[in-house]
Structure 1
């Protein structure tokens, strides 16, 4: 193979996906002794070491990660960076939680210095947990989005973010006019969308905090810039649904509010989707909109249990998300744990393979970025992580007894957390490495 100064290889157990394990045979690729070849920040090749190793020219650096799992970086499709400092804040439910904790915390993000310091911590925390791409809510302040993109661009990360749109039912210090929000969002798109690896999402917080005029302008932006993203919340909480019904009595459902304004389309990500009906689910599938499943926040705020069986029956596109700070962990492994339990409470068994799919290729598909991130296909961006099945004494004891790949991955999903992530690579560069006794991501 041709090589130059920016080519290297990683040897270990390779795991990635070519389909959803729930609906496709041979949906995953597992090479127990595999090799990932990276050139100029992208995947050159991935497969068995026996096939690819001998083809490497002398002098190509090889990182020895045998005994560990190399998989695409996790993709978190719904998270709020201004809520970093208020994670684990008590409240009786979603709406009082917003009033008591969320809105006061977001007020501080008019300060660019505060915003940039928080964004820096937030991104480093994602990397520590193995998350290489996220769909991120900033605050209503343009300064918050500017700070976020500056920090993300400095790390070379593939990130999607948008400033929140709110023009009613929020504190005056967070309120803007519909026109102000649209103009600021358009300016953000023109400056940052597809600048390097940065991408912009049109971000109405939720239908209650936007007037029809604001949703109309958001829909116009979505049509004018069809390769941008849309992100918002829907059907999270029964009190919220009743409120939306009173504000938009003409709409058939909460989700229908967004569809009436042209906000359902490919690259539209709807968080929660707990209380959808079958008509809603059919509309999600038909429009190419995706659902971000947020189990830790739904349990923490008592919002409800996602109906996986009905979603699958409708053919909805599903992804996995932490929803920090309503969510209680940045770790997608801990989020898998809670997703499994939520599904069990509705009578569904989620395989570990499907959980890992939802956190990688599933997220990429939901974002319309399959082939760019989320797998090891040739030409994909080399965002990947190294997972240590022996990261803790309990994990080591359990995984050493695993008799199958499913059993091994299930132990990681149920017992794992940030300590499992030995290293995080972004566009072929190592941005996080866990220092501990034993093995590290070092060259052979």
Structure 2
């Protein structure tokens, strides 16, 4: 309990919260400011609040506030502990607020223009079963926020901008919001630990000008495009369930543990890596962007992947085995060791691409091969062609 007086002691204001119609009759649409109150021991259910400004208030308890709707309201320097339901939160901003432990503040599915600005989300347990959750089943935006061990949600639209988070998750299940798939935008942020989006289903994912320790998109479904621009990452785990398009531009993967880069290229309809650098992690697994022998995406005819382009990128070692694509383009890139074994490739183009030591084409089936400039493959000492049908230029 805080040292602040309970909201029940604010007699007229409390009556207005209990009876919004009374407030309208007496004050019209005037702003209601509530400062320095504790909200606990209440039973405020099924109400609609509008034009309320909460300043330096503390919210505690569970299910004591369960509104239908909160509109055109703000929270400034407030603290939240427990479970609080503000209904559909429309045109609501929370400034410099604190959320502790297993606190739950989630707007309902019609929430729009819900903004968390310069807020702190402080989890107390690394066990995800004891994390708090903030955001909304509708739209939610996080700006200049910090947090650890929390779930961040915006199930119809999520924006994260200028934030610093450590070991958080953002799960999206369209079944909870009438099958709406959310666009997700992350800009100018620092994501420490793991940013977990495992088994989500979203419309799109855009990440720009951001530092990421580890991103996990395992088994995630992306209806549209994944775009990453000017991103520095320790680990990118992109073994997605499916995706329409992938574009990685100016992405540098530095290496974080054993599996540093994991991309199920076969499951994207198209994929582009441009001006990217993949790590030289000789003690761990090679960066991987292929498929698996038994997966449907490798066996599919025609292939699900129509185009995979690697342009002006560098990788000391790259495992692209079991790749299944209609069109592979290696353009102006550099590899020391490149593994394309067991690939199923319609047209393969190599333009001004350098391979330093080895190219593994074992059992790789290529319908058409074209090369312009770059390494002479026939003179490459580490060339493996067993079981391949590729016709190399003379």
Normalised to the residue count of structure 1, the TM-score between the two structures is 0.22
**Which one has the bigger strand percentage?**
2
Normalised to the residue count of structure 2, the TM-score between the two structures is 0.24
Q: Which has the larger radius of gyration?
A: 2
